[in-house]
Amino acid sequence: MLAPGTFDGKTVLITGGGSGLGLSMAEGLLRLGAKVCLMSRSEDKLQAASEKLVSQTGGSVFTFSADVRDAAKVEEGIRYFIECAGGLHAVVNNAAGNFISPTERLSANAFSSIIDTVLKGSIHTTLAAGKYWIEKKQPGVFLNIATTYASTGSAFVVPSATAKAGLIALTRSLAVEWGEYGIRSNAIAPGPFPTEGAWSRLFPKEALPPALADKMDFASRIPIGRVGNHEELVNLVTFLLSDFSAYINGELVTIDGGEWLQGAGEFNWLKAVPHQMWDAIEKATRKGA
Ligand code: HXC
């Protein structure tokens, strides 16, 4: 969507960038001229991602293996990236953890593993990068990957919903507090964009009886009638990281084909009514009481 060279001279850190949506974002940014820094737990994943990205784009990729739950390691990684890449201009807080479970089955540690990754992990990168930008009197951009159910809440993914809601509060708070330093903070709320990591944990179709598996039919759940594709997400991400969105600060942009609104509207269930039935319904309802 953006012109080649949009990110020339810019370095972007993507947490959890070794796979899934983070990897797609990395590819999109590299194609637009950015240097990309990937931070993720698995050295093997980082190695494979880096080789793939360099061969696909010919761009500069730096990697640092760290669990975002470890604040000291995250700080070390950010220092390393700044030294190798010669600076840092934007951070995408994308690393996440999630699984479906009735909340009463969860241990305190299960909650912690999600909150510490999603919320505290983002806080760790935000503190390290934000302090660096403020000290250097340099502008910066944060883009936090939330979800639609961070605003509504959602049963069966309560640790994730809680953590992502905190991430939105972090985004809006720092948009105001750090705006004066030229640091923008925005978030996006993606709906379903298939990735192996999320799908295996959240939509285990094959483990369910057919009647339940049918509930995962995205074509009927989403007004646009399909899941999202990575390129659509990457277009939004690159726009919000670029100077073309320089006046957007503290915003949460939903990208879900209308899915969450379909679940929210009082009368949305009427979509199930066949078109030819509306004449009869109108006749009945026009009479009133
Ligand atoms: C109940 C579970 C569980 C499950 C783990 N735990 N899986 N409890 N049901 N399915 C519990 C464990 O028993 C343990 O508690 C605690 O959680 C930590 O588990 P570990 O496996 O030791 O943790 P760890 O190795 O850190 O793994 C983290 C993880 C894992 C989150 C559990 O799934 C992971 O690494 N995920 C990363 C990728 C991911 O989740 N991607 C999807 C993100 S998608 P005890 O008490 O036993 O020690 C997303 C947005 C979705 O977030 C939007 C969709 C539209």
Task: Let me know if residue 226 belongs to a domain.
Answer: yes
Q: Is 285 in the pocket of ligand 1 (CB under 6 A)?
A: no
Task: Let me know if residue 3 belongs to a domain.
Answer: no
Question: Which atom, in ligand 1's list, is nearest to the CA of 256?
Answer: 55
Q: How far, in Å, are 58, 257, 260, 267 from residue 239 at the CA level? A: 22, 18, 23, 34
Most informative mutation of 113, 145, 199 for ligand 1 (most atoms within 8 A of CB): 113
Q: Along the 289 residues of the chain, how does pLDDT read in single tens digits?
A: 899 999 999 999 999 999 999 999 999 999 999 999 999 999 999 999 999 999 999 999 999 999 999 999 999 999 999 999 999 999 999 999 999 999 999 999 999 999 999 999 999 999 999 999 999 999 999 999 999 999 999 999 999 999 999 999 999 999 999 999 999 999 999 999 999 989 988 988 888 888 888 888 888 899 999 999 999 999 999 999 999 999 999 999 999 999 999 989 999 989 889 999 999 999 999 986 6
> Could you give the number of structural domains in the chain?
1
Task: Let me know if residue 255 belongs to a domain.
Answer: yes
Tokens of 85: 């890449």
CA angle in degrees (0–180, nearest 5) for 195-197-203: 80
Task: Let me know if residue 179 belongs to a domain.
Answer: yes
Most informative mutation of 24, 39, 99 for ligand 1 (most atoms within 8 A of CB): 99
Owning domain of residue 139 = 11-288
Q: Is 253 in the pocket of ligand 1 (CB under 6 A)?
A: no
Q: Is 96 in the pocket of ligand 1 (CB under 6 A)?
A: yes
Task: Let me know if residue 178 belongs to a domain.
Answer: yes
8 A C-beta contact, residue 114 and residue 202: no
Catalytic (active site) residue 149: yes
Whichever domain contains 240, its CATH number is 3.40.50.720
